[in-house]
Amino acid sequence: MSIAWVFPGQGSQAIGMGHDIYEHFSVARAIFDQADDLLNLPLRSLCFEGPEADLIATENTQPALLTVSTALVRVLEDLGGAGLARPLAVAGHSLGEYSALVAGGALDFPTALRLVRRRGELMAEAHEGSMAAVIGLAQEILEEICLDINAAPQGDASAAHSTVVVANYNAPDQLVISGSTLAVERASLQAKERGAKRVLPLKVSAAFHSPLMIYAAESMAHELERADVRDLDVPLIANVTAQELRGADEVRREAVAQVVAPVRWIASVQAMVAMGCTTFVEIGSGKVLTGLIRRIAPQVRTVTISTAADVRAFVAENS
């Protein structure tokens, strides 16, 4: 059985995440305690008890989700030992790519924790633009809409507000647009006119995965220059290119580029299927990626690991 490990990103957080593995496994407790110490934050308490308003603050959400996913990986490795079936590839959705980099050996947990905390802070500081989910419209049509809006003549009064891109290729029937608020509104209206089943504004503070995040990308580049990044032990399927990465320099470039570039999740899943992955294991809070993968590649097997029972069942089957 050829396995891919995949890791969820922002939006999958939930109060209570990670609590039972903390209670059952010392290696999980060590990860949560280390996160609290390194960040000088009550991260464990936020994950287990909330309040939700604090947990969903992006500068907290990002290290919290990384911590939960990493704790689950450590428990898997500890219980499975040398006999645990290793993944053929790892991947993560947006923020989840950092969890994949830890699982794949490119980053140690403390380094990744500091990076995602800074990433979250930079995103929290960005207050320009908006995002919207577009349901049931072909990507070619949505891309054409974005291109038309972006091509507004320079003399047009709206030209300064005409940045909109497809930011997330989540599933064939679920795409996300991001950009300046006026451009997103215009693209949303045109998407409805051209057959989208629904267009849903997202509750975000800025235009993530768009050119409007260039300041955050430049700041992350400085952070990553100083970070200890190693070659991967397991190939990463990158958000930006949907291609295999192994080298440390490639990892740095990917981590910077993904701040402003689209998340090509459809192509990433298809790439892992082409590599021979027949089982996709979502490691972290929730089942968001599992739902997307079933719509992209219905022929593969999907497994979710978010609780102690999930870990034990997977290890019993695969080691």
Active site (catalytic) residues: 94, 209
134 has which bridge partners? 175, 199
Q: How far apart are CA 60 and CA 70, in angstroms?
A: 16
Q: How many CA atoms lie within 13 A of 247 on its CB side?
A: 3
Helix/strand/coil (H/E/C) assignment for every residue in 152-217: CCCCCCCHHHCCEEEEEEEECCEEEEEECHHHHHHHHHHHHHCCCCEEEECCCCCCCCCHHHHHHH
Q: Is 60 exposed, middle or buried (0-12, 13-18, 19+ CB in 10 A)?
A: buried
Tokens 């609290």 map to which residue? 36
Tokens 């739902």 map to which residue? 291
Q: 132: which 2 tokens? A: 């919207």
CB 27 within 8 A of CB 79: no
Q: How far apart are CA 103 and CA 73, in angstroms?
A: 7
